[in-house]
Structure 1
């Protein structure tokens, strides 16, 4: 990793590794000098120990189940249709799908538009009555 960094600096400034080491050497360390926002000169030293490979022992825990919570929400089209419930009024009558071409066309002023934008979905499972209200502009 260390020599890879020297090569990267050499390619950036179009010079050899020897010139890079001569330019950025500070008390046997590799350091980059820069000026902060106040105009003060600062030096960032790259410590040699940071380039050493660190081996970590792996602890095996056999039989321990991970403590992970899985959240399964009804978002797919098939799941929403199989729920047999209107997403607006929660009635269980015949469902229809309301579609929009682009989410960017929704203004987010009406209740159903806010629901679609929040879910990031272009479809919504609604009952026949709610679907008529959406197309007539009567549903707020």
Structure 2
């Protein structure tokens, strides 16, 4: 927090932006995410969008929200590199294939769109972009409901089930991503937070959390809600398929 015109204002810490950018970089170079190359184009775009939305929503009321533009650029570059590696084409061809105008309210954004046709049904769409970084003290937290796809990878099934993998909630589910599983080992010598234990159980670098759990995690404080068992989480996800 910081004082603004005599009042208290929320801000995005500079070190947070740098730390989150490093998840998509090696030294000073933005890289693709090799661990996602077996996922579909749809799930890759949806996962990046979910991750960025979660961060933007967490800092939605920060007066310097615009500083997340750097993270957006880094993630955009990493996303297109990941899609290019997966499809064995150049980044420019990825932009040419998936670039799109995204209308959100009265604002038109440049972004990417992956469309999946379905027989006798509306096509399913995953987008990258359309998230405003303009400060608005009266802003409301964005909600997003992804569609349902019948031919899904494991990540898609978890994403589209919209189940918090910590507490089992179905409210405003967002993605939380770590760069490598070894990052979970930095708690050596002290009790690991429950969310770290859950990610270790999942054996995945991405965990889907409800808004409340995600905010507690980013704040670095103990989760307010009770952690359900992984068996319960999987049962809830299976019921949504």
TM-score (norm 2): 0.26
Structure of higher RCO (CA pairs closer than 8 Å, 6+ residues apart): 2
Larger radius of gyration: 1
- Structure with higher helix content: 2
TM-score (norm 1): 0.43
